[in-house]
Amino acid sequence: VESDLILRKQVSFVRTRGGEFALKVSLRIKAKKFIEKINIIDKLPPLVSLYERYGAIAPDKIDLRNKRIEWNVESLNEREERIFTYIIYSKIGVVGKFELPSAKALYEKEGKIKEATSNRSFYINEPKKY
């Protein structure tokens, strides 16, 4: 199914003062055609906490119990792009492959509700060699 919305998820490692394991998650959405009433939903992986500071666009809804974070966008024009970022961290060191669930976007095009899913992204944490 060809989607009118491209949703890409990227993760990068973040250094913290406290030495916690932290990742910056970026969701990049790009409209191929004009779409509206966009609701972006991302799920946080287990064992991580959400850092209370965000990129340029703060989430519209944060549900920590169900580990969901949401943004609402009124509309996007053709080829318009937005980037949403947030940081997750864990007190427990993560070794090996750390996988993040796919993000989802629901949107309306010509009165029909459609859905787009992002790629699944993961971060591989190699233990330090001394």
The pLDDT of residue 4 is: 92
Burial (CB count <10 Å: 0-12, 13-18, 19+), residue 14: middle
Q: Measuring CA to CA, how many Å separate 97 from each of 39, 123, 126? A: 29, 6, 9
Share above pLDDT 70 across residues of the chain, in percent, rounded to a whole number? 95
Q: What is the pLDDT of residues 15-74, one digit of tens each?
A: 888 878 899 999 999 999 999 999 999 999 888 899 888 877 899 999 999 999 999 999
Assess whether pLDDT exceeds 90 at residue 82: yes
Q: Give the pTM.
A: 0.87
